[in-house]
Amino acid sequence: MTQGLSHMTFIVSDLDMMEEMLVTVLDAKKTYDSGDNTFSLSEERFFDIGGIWVAAMKGEPLPTRTYNHVAFKMNAADYEEKLRRIRALGLEVKEGRSRVEGEGHSIYFYDFDNHMFELHSGTLEERLRRYQEPA
């Protein structure tokens, strides 16, 4: 039986740049740095982001950008501060899709290796409740 999310791994060209993005924007805490040791496929670092294990592993970046993304929860009150941090790092902010009131608010942005991230203020329950309301 699947018990939930174990971890996420992102292949990145520069571990320092990824660490700066994860710490600055997502308030990550670094829990491991392999340095020159490689127990896996390449150098790697582990982070804790709100109780989720996120791994960054050195390698070739994604060749293109898509809408595939991972979304992390944020408080709606943090929207402007998160947007400021993202822009201060020079990351590209992608215009979000149109939303109906009650879905929550999102910031979509790309890291330095074409991974898309989202910061979202809503919950699944709120979205489903809103979608059941008459249009």
Indicate which residues carry an active-site annotation.
44
Q: Read out DSSP for 8-46?
A: EEEEES-HHHHHHHHHHHH--EEEEE-TT--SSSS-EEE
Closest by CA position to 95, among listed 64, 123, 116, 73: 116
- Asked if 57 and 19 count as a contact pair (C-beta separation under 8 A), the reply is no
